[in-house]
Amino acid sequence: MGSVLNVIKIGGNVIDDETQLQDFLEKFAALQGKKILVHGGGKVATRVANGLGIEAKMIDGRRVTDAAMLDIVTMVYAGLTNKKVVSLLQRFGCDALGLSGADGNTIKAVKRPVREIDYGYVGDILVDSVNSLSVKKFLEAGYTPVFSAITHNGIGQLLNTNADTIASALAVSLSKIYDTSLIYCFEKNGVLRDVTDEHSVIPTIKANEFDELKAAGVIYEGMIPKLENAFHAIGKGVKNVYIGHALNLHMYQQGGFGTCLLAK
Contact, 66 vs 121, CB < 8 A?
A: yes
Cα 208 to chain centroid distance, Å, stands at 25
Q: Is 42 annotated in some ligand binding site?
A: yes
Radius of gyration of the chain (CA): 18
Q: Is 160 annotated in some ligand binding site?
A: yes
Q: Is 153 annotated in some ligand binding site?
A: no
d(CA 67, CA 46): 14
Give the other-Cβ count within 10 Å of 7's Cβ.
31
Give the other-Cβ count within 10 Å of 206's Cβ.
14
Contacts of 60 (CB under 8 A, 6+ apart): none
Cα 254 to chain centroid distance, Å, stands at 22
Q: Which residues pair with 97 in a beta bridge?
A: 145
Q: Is 6 annotated in some ligand binding site?
A: no
d(CA 145, CA 135): 8
Contacts of 70 (CB under 8 A, 6+ apart): 120, 121, 158, 159, 160
The binding site for substrate comprises: 41-42, 63, 160
Q: Which residues are known binding-site members?
A: 41-42, 63, 160
